[in-house]
Chains A and B, each alone.
Chain A
Amino acid sequence: MSKNVFLRDVGNIRSQLIDLCERGRYASAQFMLAGAGCNAQTHPALWEYLARQSAAAGVAAVAHAARRLLWEAGWRTADVALSEARHFLDAGDHVTAVFLIEHVFGKLPEDPAARLLLARCHLETARARGAEGPTRTDAEAAQQLSDGIAPETADDLLLLVDLLRFAGEFDAALAQLAAAADRFGGDPRLTMRAASIQEQRGDIAAALALWQEVTRQPGPTRKEALFRQIAAQARLGRSDAVTAEAGALLRERLSLAERIRLALLMGQHGMVEALTDQASQGGDPADPLGAIEAAEIGDMLLDAGYIGLVHWLRRQKLGVSERAKTVLEAVGLGLQAERAPRRSFATSVTLRSPDFMVPIAEFLQLPPKPAGWPGEGRTPEKLLLVNFSLAAGGAERQLLELVKALLADRLTPDQIDVACFTLARDRGHDRFLPELQALGVSVHNLMTRRIANRTLPPEAERLISALPLPLRDDTRAIWHLVNELRPDVLHGWQDKSALACGLVGHLLGLGRVVLSLRNMSPETRRDPDLVRLRALYGDFAATGHFRLTANAEAAIADYAGWIGCAPERLTLLRNAVDDSRFSPALRAPGAAGTAPLRIVGIFRLAPNKRPLLWLRTVAALARQCGRPLCPVIHGSGPLGPEIVTEARALGLDGIEIHSGSTAPEDLYGSADLVLLMSRVEGVPNILIEAQACGIPVAACDVGGVREAMHDSGLLLPADPAPEAAAAALAAWLPAALTTDPARRVAFAQRRFGRTALATRAMALYCGTAEEP
């Protein structure tokens, strides 16, 4: 009897299979089954046994081979599908994994394991795409997959939470966490996720409380929570807390990567350089840098724009990530490249992104344009306006005013597109969306917009991939939209959008690019993230066919001084006020001379607006002025709790603090006086609107305040003491309250009318504005 004949006996085959598996000889078992002619179609149970046993023993190749044969033989069981899906998921092939699950379990599996695995597939797919921008999952799929499922482990719960939060479904994600709090309450990762979600939705104070909760618990998550806590304090503008907590963290034993992260967080460039120098020498001698930490350091530096240091690390043979290597090679900083900085660390320090790519046109090797290009043009067929969001802010309101003005002039709704980086409802980023949509213009949400092909042309990728974050993501997002729409005019509104629009303007060779810088220069505003992009501002100012605008003469002078260009390179594009909404008609009848005087402040409760100085000034005025006062603040922000405490301490018990009110009549209807005490301002809309309503205004002489104020208003010194400011107010008030309001109204309508805005903007779009 031949061996084959003997082996055809299934019982013997099974015995031999069991024997081989018990001895760990899975490959032999696979060959034995194949050699015995037991294929998966005829003997699926044997192959399934082999698949399970080999998988349990960690012999993935044999297990996968067995399952593949089973799948091809039509033996598509739940177990086979799930195991194969995990296999493909681990290999990074999310698409095949989704196919396997949906083929067996359908689009919305009832089986919890299948549903969780499908959720993981979606999340991993989003993360893989996230290499080209923020991670985003599909909201509908996230809701469906997480609905009605009770995760059994904390990891499963976090999976679903992540799926939801990356879809922007923050409330649902928090609800998942809350529902499972009892079961996994001791796991600090849940608190950390909740904190991250609160950050994403913009509730930094809530996030901070959660991070503080985690830092009180010892364990491996504490250090990460400390970092996040410091970042949250910084976002809240609590610099003292940032310093104190970062000081405490400095006394802890941190890895080199952690110290660099802390230095970046604290904006201490010299410290970043010192630590990178140490990293380039291999790190702490007692604890040399590992490959993962080295790559992490390289990526952090790349994201922060320290491209020369990344190059230095690579030259010093410290392992950097494949991403970093690709970027270095693409921008001519390969190991052998000519652009490579010469020999010293000090030289590498000076090579920063985006500065090293300036002039951008040269970097992209664009043919030079003749002076005056593209000349006078026609009315644009397509205008794309880009802004960060449509939140309830002054700049956003001005964007709306601009669109209204353009529509009232000569453009039609189909000629105007508006794009925003975010329109998240739960963060209030869509405040003006309905009003804008009602005008009939197209509005694009860059965060959720589907992009069919994410691949950029090599030149665009070369430039964009070397940019620091978040400019890199912003530029990438806008590039796809602009490439699709091909507008005649691209108009970036506010610095963040303007910077990305300028780069896209270069990349796509647009003839008309208008970049509206608002407020004051980043240096005046003490915005460290924008300050480091000064070279880019300089490039745009030097690019002949780009037109930079600012909304005040003071802003122009401030920007020009900071950029180092002639003020003529910036065009004045004043704000506009909607005189149909802001007029004396909405004011209540004037208060009697003995009634409490309603002093209104409308500002964000943030350090730049100096709300505490506002309170102290009002308190001093209450002491100096014979008339009772009723202070009213409209606004919200990180300093809310401090303001309440300070008001109480100052005896301003009758103070009214409102948040969320934006209706003109709520803001100005009962105001006798509008007072601003900001440290930095551009042209405050509040002053213009108040005067359009006929209300007297007083403000510190900063930025464009002087330009926004009728001569009947009160200009206080830029940095006044409360008592002195109150004395000036007390002296000014009697005349201010009796001045004819019509004078203020006429001033606001004349200088800040919508028609003037439209005329100026159309001149920029058509190329008929004065040549700088």
Chain B
Amino acid sequence: MTGRPQRLGVMGAWGDPALQLLEDAYPEADLIQITDPIADAGGVDHLILCTQDLALAHFEALLRAGLPCTLLLRRPRAAADQLVFQRGLDWLAAALGPRLPTGWRLAALSAAAAEEISGLMGHPVTPLPGLPKISADRPVLPLDRRKEMQTFAFGTGSGPRETRRTRIDQYNWVRLRRLAVLHAADAQDRDLSDLVAYANGTAAAGPAARPASPPCVISVVPNGVGLGHVTRMMAVGKALQRECGARVIFWSFSRAAEIIRAAGFEVFLRQTAAHLDAHPPDWRQWETLEFAAALRQFRPGAITYDGATFDPFMIDALNQPGCGRCGVAWIRRGMLQRGSDAQLLEAEEYCDLVLEPGDVAISCDAGPTRTREAQFKGFSRYHYVPPVTLKPYLQSYDRRRAKRLLSLGMGRHCLVSLGGAFGNWEELRGLIEKHAAQQRVRLIWARSPLAPAPKGTSAQTDIRQLYPLGSYLAAFDGVISATGYNSFHELMLAYDGPVLLAPTNQDRLDDQVARASYAAERGWAELYRVDTPQPQEEIVARFMADVRRGARVAGRPDPQYGADEMARAIATLAARYR
């Protein structure tokens, strides 16, 4: 092929490494995966068929389409397939006749393959354009497609090398060759040998790096409970913008898209299968295609995901042609409940990076992220950073300004923020209202942007829909809060007033009780257990008294924030795929 076509119509099986590697072979081209040469002929300049099987399957249509065409001819995957391979080539040669149709070219993955196939077919066969070598230090991955799992030695940088296992069918080979030096471990699989030789690249090949420019990162936000994931990802997004001028695009299943947009990010609001009441496999297929289209359009260097469970659509999309130059960073907080299913750790296998935002209560973390290890870690590296909250990126108001903005007026004010939509707060609410009245403390109920207004509150109670809370904390003389990651850390790291923590482990994955107990044991906060039959009125009374007298709490941890560090790690990851 002379001159690289802009629109390259590629035909190949889902997950075919050769199809994926075309992204690196033709970095300037738009790869368009097509299924029918006639129907799609108008939209492409050149066709590449990734196997002789496809050429045989569509031979007449290819002739009729009249497009320049490259037939990539592959050697067999097993010795037992040798006869089928030879017969297939004979058949193709018979169909081609003595001269190739105008604009057609026969290609192979390696010079050796080209020579062998040329000898069998009697037509010239040339190797595909070579791929540039990847220079980064990386593990050697022996590949054997007969095995479901591949085993390799992985250096973590500290300590001994680990033996790891992974499934290769989940990797786009454009990504895989950046993660590992590939080694064909099945001598009979000659296609694999060709693929590996091709994927490892040649020093002589031209550079495939994209021009240096600020990275693009796509942040996938699950439709989790509350705003925890969104808040943390916005913090990281802000850090990415500040650290390296990254373009951060949110792929949001959360209903909080407006909040993200208001924070200055680009957002694609997506619907889950549950939102649409759709058959999950159909939805997943659709979402895969949509996400792949976004990957091709924005060419991000990394995907970040903050959530407990990985939906396969992201990985499926990364396997699509033109979507391989992208790393995956999983932002996974710790402090999961002790009995949480450790299976969720297995998503590490999909990732380049597992980033854990720190938790000040980490020493009492007994959940699987601390006590268990994923069975299959793939190529993922683990990185722990200090706590990540939005606080460093928010405008902080002083007490007077914050009060004015919230129209709070004079007197003592206590913020009540019991989370999004869960928890049995009936008894606590009664106690709060009773003692607030006794102490002449005015209650300000924070209403989550995702939650309906609290029910049954008295007429005197004020409700504010505030987000983010952190900017306004100075306005309050005390805070009653649930113990989600964000509120806990905003309060413990950036607030010095009395805090009453009301944790609940109901319906959630993180161990709020442990987190709150940890703070209470150190005198950083009062602890109100929703789930205990013990009388706790005294706690609320004591807390309200503290609020009344304007108490300050000393000894809370020094504020340290990890979003910048996390952003730097993500930027480094993105640079690997440039």
**B13 pairs with A273, CB closer than 8 A:** yes
Partner of B95, one of A251, A269, A523: A251
Q: Please tell me if B386 contacts chain A, counting CB pairs below 8 Å.
A: no
Question: Do A284 and B36 touch across chains, with their CB atoms under 8 A apart?
Answer: yes
Q: Is the CB of A243 within 8 A of B15?
A: no
B43 to chain A, nearest CB (A): 12
B286 within 8 A of A: no
Q: Is the CB of B84 within 8 A of A268?
A: yes
Residue B88 lies at the interface, judged by CB distance under 8 Å to chain A = yes
- CB within 8 Å of A: which B28-81 residues: 35-36, 38-39, 51-54, 56-61, 63-64, 80
Tell whether A267 is near chain B: CB-to-CB under 8 Å: yes
B35 touches A281 (CB 8 A): yes
Chain A residues with a Cβ closer than 8 Å to the other chain, count:
36
Partner of B91, one of A246, A281, A285, A343: A246
A250-B59, A250-B60, A343-B312 as given contacts; A274 in contact with B51, CB under 8 Å: yes
Among residues 386 to 445 in chain A, which have CB atoms less than 8 Å away from a CB atom of chain B?
none
- Are A247 and B60 CB-contacts (below 8 A) given A269-B84, A278-B36? no
Complex Cα spacing A239 to B60, Å: 22
CB proximity to B under 8 Å, residues A23-80: none
Q: A253-B60, A343-B281, A531-B80 are in contact. Are A246 and B36 (CB under 8 A)?
A: no
Residues of A within 8 Å of B61, CB to CB, are: 284
Q: Is the CB of A284 within 8 A of B38?
A: yes
Please encode chain B, from 260 to 288, with 1 for each CB lying within 8 Å of some chain A CB and 0 for all others. 00000000000000000000010010000
| 8 Å CB interface, A482-531 against B | 523, 526, 528, 531
Cα A344 to Cα B285 in complex, Å, equals 10
Question: Is A274 touching B53 in the complex (CB atoms < 8 A)?
Answer: yes
Task: Answer whether residue B161 sits at the interface, using C-beta atoms and an 8 A cutoff.
Answer: no
B452 to nearest A CB, angstroms? 37
Given the complex of chains A and B, what is the CA–CA distance between A278 and B11 in angstroms?
11
Distance in Å: Cβ of B288 to nearest Cβ of chain A = 10
Chain A residues with CB below 8 A from B96, complex form: 247
Q: Known contacts A248-B94, A268-B91: does B39 contact A284 (CB below 8 Å)?
A: yes
Using Cβ atoms and an 8 Å threshold, which residues of chain A touch B281? 343
Q: Is B14 in the interface zone, CB < 8 Å from A?
A: yes
Contact A271 B88 (CB under 8 A): yes
Are A266 and B91 interface neighbours, CB within 8 A? yes
CA distance A227 to B61 in the complex (A): 19
Q: B84 touches which one: A244, A267, A284, A344 (CB < 8 A)?
A: A267
Partner of B87, one of A243, A281, A344, A346: A243
A292 in contact (CB, < 8 A) = no
User: A243-B91, A247-B94 are known contacts. Are A285 and B36 too (CB-CB below 8 A)?
Assistant: yes
Our pick among B57, B60, B92, B94 for the contact of A278 (Cβ within 8 Å) is B57
The answer to whether the Cβ of B83 comes within 8 Å of any Cβ in the partner chain is yes
Closest Cβ–Cβ distance, residue A591 to chain B (whole Å): 43
Name the residue of chain A whose CB is nearest to the CB of B97. A247
B169 at the binding interface (Cβ < 8 Å): yes
Chain B residues lying within 8 Å of A268, measured Cβ to Cβ, are 53, 56, 84, 87-88, 91
Residues of B within 8 A of A566 (CB): none
> B40 CB to closest chain A CB, in angstroms?
8
Which interface class (under 10, 10 to 19, 20 to 34, 35 or more) fits B?
A: 35 or more
From B11, which residue of chain A is reached at the shortest CB distance? A274
How far, in angstroms, from A305 to B14 measured CA to CA in the complex? 22
- Residues facing A in B84-127 (CB within 8 A) are 84, 87-88, 90-96
Q: Which residue of chain A lies nearest to B52 when distances are taken between CB atoms in the complex?
A: A270
Selected contact of B80 from candidates A243, A263, A284, A523, CB within 8 Å: A523
- Which residues of the partner chain A approach B94 to less than 8 Å between Cβ atoms? 243-244, 246-248, 250
A274 adjacent to B59 (CB under 8 Å): no
B90 touches A243 (CB 8 A): yes
B38 surroundings in chain A (CB, below 8 A): 284-286
Q: Which one, B57, B93, B169, contacts A263 given CB within 8 A?
A: B57
The answer to whether B60 and A346 touch across the interface, beta carbons within 8 angstroms, is no
Interface-central residue, A253, A274, A343, by most chain B CB under 10 Å? A274
Q: For B95, list chain A residues within 8 Å (CB).
A: 247-248, 250-251
B57 touches A346 (CB 8 A): no
Considering the complex, give the chain A residue whose CB is closest to the CB of B64: A253
Contacts of A252 in B (CB 8 A): 60
CB-based contact B13/A251 at 8 Å = no
Give the residues in chain B near A274, CB-CB below 8 Å.
Answer: 13, 51, 53-54, 56-58
Interchain CA distance A252-B95 in the complex, whole Å: 10
Q: Which of B35, B38, B52 has the most CB of A within 10 A?
A: B35
Chain B residues with CB under 8 Å of A246's CB are 91, 94
Structural contact, B14 and A344, CB atoms closer than 8 A: yes
Q: Mark A273-303, 1 if CB is under 8 A from B, else 0.
A: 1110110010011100000000000000000
Contact with B along A734-772 (1 / 0, CB 8 A): 000000000000000000000000000000000000000
Chain B residues whose CB sits within 8 angstroms of the CB of A248 once the complex forms: 94-95
Contacts of A244 in B (CB 8 A): 94
Pair A526/B83 contact, Cβ less than 8 Å: yes
**A266 / chain B contacts, CB cutoff of 8 Å:** 87-88, 91
CB pair B83 A345 closer than 8 Å: no
* Contact of A259 with B by CB under 8 A: yes
Q: Give the residues in chain B near A175, CB-CB below 8 Å.
A: none
B35 with A251: CB separation less than 8 A: no
- A286–B60 CA distance with the chains assembled, in angstroms: 14
Task: Please indicate the chain A residues that have their CB under 8 angstroms from the CB of B284 in the complex.
Answer: 343
CA distance A266 to B92 in the complex (A): 12
- Given the complex, which residues of A lie within 8 Å of B54, measured CB to CB? 271, 274
Chain A window 240-261, contacts with chain B (Cβ cutoff 8 Å), 1 for yes, 0 for no:
0001101110111110000100
* Bound form: Cα–Cα A239–B94 in Å: 12
Q: Give the docked Cα–Cα distance between A267 and B61 (Å).
A: 21
Could you tell me the distance between the alpha carbons of A263 and B84 in the complex, rounded to whole angstroms?
Answer: 11
CB distance from B538 to the nearest CB of A (A): 55
Which interface residue of B13, B93, B96, B169 has the most chain A CB atoms within 10 A?
Answer: B13
Q: Cα distance A323–B53 when bound, in Å?
A: 29
Q: How far, in angstroms, from A269 to B95 measured CA to CA in the complex?
A: 18
Q: 20 A-B Cβ contacts within 8 A?
A: A239-B87, A243-B94, A247-B94, A251-B60, A251-B63, A266-B88, A267-B84, A268-B91, A271-B56, A274-B53, A274-B57, A274-B58, A275-B57, A278-B35, A278-B36, A281-B35, A286-B38, A343-B312, A344-B14, A346-B14
| A-B contact sample (8 more), CB < 8 A, given A243-B91, A268-B56, A343-B281 | A243-B87, A247-B96, A250-B95, A259-B57, A270-B88, A274-B13, A274-B58, A344-B15
B binding-site residues for A, Cβ under 8 Å: 13-15, 35-36, 38-39, 51-54, 56-61, 63-64, 80, 83-84, 87-88, 90-96, 169, 281, 284, 312
A-B pairs with lowest CB-CB distance, top 9: A247-B94, A270-B53, A285-B39, A247-B95, A250-B95, A274-B57, A271-B53, A250-B59, A271-B56
